[in-house]
Amino acid sequence: MLLLGAASVVLLVCVACLLSILQWRNRSGKGKMPEGPAPLPIVGNILQVKPKNLAKTLEKVRTSIEERIQEEAEHLLEEITKTKSMPFDPTFKLSCTFSNVICSIVFGKRYDYKDKKFLSLMNNMNNIFEMMNSRWGQLYQMFSYVLDYLPGPHNNIFKEIDAVKAFVAEEVKLHQASLDPNSPQDFIDCFLSKMLEEKDNPKSHFNMLNLITTTFDLFIAGTETSSTTTRYGLLLLLKYPKIQEKVQEEIDRVVGRSRRPCVADRTKMPYTDAVVHEIQRFITLIPTSVPRAVTKDIRFRDYVIPKGTTIFPLLSTALYDSKEFPNPTEFNPGHFLNENGTFRKSEFFIPFSAGKAQFPPAGALVLQLRLPHMLPDQSCQSFLSAHCPLYNSSLLIPSLAMSHTLVGA
């Protein structure tokens, strides 16, 4: 009986292998496969992956980025301390902070907040976002195929984009002059090293154009979302002092004030984690996400969406779903907490996009762990109440709803 069962298992495995091989052959004969090592039936490319090296590499990258974020958070704290508890607008300082995190990762260095070269870069990126959020910018996002041939203020954005790319190109030249392929120091070094490895491959994706474009995308996608989310996080903590007190208590208990916060602290701080998630849900930073293109005909309910159709997913319908988040217009960290106080995950939490690559703001948690230590006294709350209309509103929805549409297009 046992032999019969074992024979059945072996037979099933053999049949599965044969079917996989037939499918593999049919697929490989239908057209040209993407570049890269050919996958084997069933096991795919798993034999070509070195799990130990991969795990070590990922851990090294995560640790390196975390350390850079922690370091920049200290510089931000120093800048805020200089205000001596007087009311101030944190917009510029936060933008500098997150831009410097990207600079540290990409260029291997940070800039002083008063550095003229850095300030010029900040000005270019600020102008890009302002233009993207203007009426002309939003019209261009929807009708670029027409406006590409017409004059107008929407064309000014490309001058700003070219300025940022020129900044990146200058840094790339400096890296080329001092490149040591055996000891890359940052993202550009790694990319340049890969370019050297594949210099004889005419179809390689590692080329100068992709390097500059990828670096530009890192700045655009990683700076504004992070700084705006953190800025509104500050505003919400000021508006709800009781929530701020609970966050402060949890931070003091888990992290204390003698060391830097780290990502590893996250699992021990369910309330703070819930607050960070609720901030992102509540502000709905990008309610329509970025445009997507349908890769094949899709049947959705009673409708057919043809292949190639551009769609704008309304993330706000998930983030403000009243069944998943009772009273969604109220700011309540309880939306992400279980009855026993542990953190509650939600499939409806898609602040930037759906799927595995949801792209949360880099380092938002580490920086926001520092926020309660940065918050000014009651005078700042009075200033906000008197001068900031959003502070008194029931819904704090930021203005740059479509800030990343042009970049993602």
**Given this model, what pLDDT does residue 391 score?**
41
Say yes or no to pLDDT of 365 above 60.
no
Say yes or no to pLDDT of 399 above 80.
no
Q: Give the single-character DSSP code of 122.
A: H
Say yes or no to pLDDT of 406 above 50.
no
Say yes or no to pLDDT of 185 above 50.
yes
**Given this model, what pLDDT does residue 378 score?**
43
* Alpha-helical regions (H) of 255-377: 270-283, 316-319, 364-374
**Given this model, what pLDDT does residue 22 score?**
56
Say yes or no to pLDDT of 139 above 50.
yes
**What b/e sequence results for 300-324 when a residue is b if at least 16 CB atoms lie within 10 Å of its CB, and e otherwise?**
eeeeeeeeeeeeebebbebbbeeee
Which range among 189-203, 272-286, 378-392 shows the weakest confidence by mean pLDDT?
Answer: 378-392
Say yes or no to pLDDT of 208 above 80.
yes
In tens, the pLDDT along 57-72 reads 556 666 678 888 888 9
**Tokens in use for 50?**
């070195």
**Given this model, what pLDDT does residue 50 score?**
59
**Given this model, what pLDDT does residue 274 score?**
95
Residues 6 or more apart from 292 whose CB is under 8 A from it? 310, 311, 312, 313
Choose between 208 and 21: higher pLDDT. Answer: 208
β-bridge partners, 310: 293
* Cα–Cα distance for residue pair 164/152, rounded to 1 Å: 21
pLDDT level of residue 314 (50, 70, 90 thresholds): confident
How deeply is 10 buried, as exposed, middle or buried, from its count of CB atoms within 10 A (0-12, 13-18, 19+)? exposed
pLDDT level of residue 390 (50, 70, 90 thresholds): very low
- Average pLDDT value over all residues in the chain: 78
Helix, coil or strand: residue 238 = helix
pLDDT level of residue 169 (50, 70, 90 thresholds): very high
Question: Residues 295, 297, 302, CA angle at the centre, nearest 5°?
Answer: 135
Highest-pLDDT range among 57-61, 154-158, 173-177, 298-302? 173-177
**Given this model, what pLDDT does residue 35 score?**
56
**Given this model, what pLDDT does residue 32 score?**
52
Helix, coil or strand: residue 316 = helix
**Given this model, what pLDDT does residue 304 score?**
92
Give mean pLDDT, residues 149-169.
91
Which range among 56-70, 99-113, 244-258 shows the weakest confidence by mean pLDDT?
Answer: 56-70
Choose between 127 and 286: higher pLDDT. Answer: 127
**Given this model, what pLDDT does residue 292 score?**
80
**Given this model, what pLDDT does residue 227 score?**
86
Tracing tokens 């509540």 back to the chain, one arrives at: 282
Question: Considering the chain, what percentage of its residues have pLDDT values greater than 90?
Answer: 35
In tens, the pLDDT along 22-77 reads 555 554 444 455 555 666 655 565 555 555 565 665 566 666 788 888 889 889 88
Say yes or no to pLDDT of 102 above 60.
yes
- Counting every residue, how long is the chain? 409
**Given this model, what pLDDT does residue 145 score?**
80
Say yes or no to pLDDT of 15 above 80.
no
Which range among 17-21, 326-330, 343-347 shows the weakest confidence by mean pLDDT?
Answer: 17-21
Q: Model's pTM, two decimal places?
A: 0.73
Q: Domains, the chain, ranges and CATH?
A: 53-408 (1.10.630.10)
**What b/e sequence results for 38-77 when a residue is b if at least 16 CB atoms lie within 10 Å of its CB, and e otherwise?**
ebeeeeeeeeeeeeeeeeeeeeeeeeebbebbbebbebbb
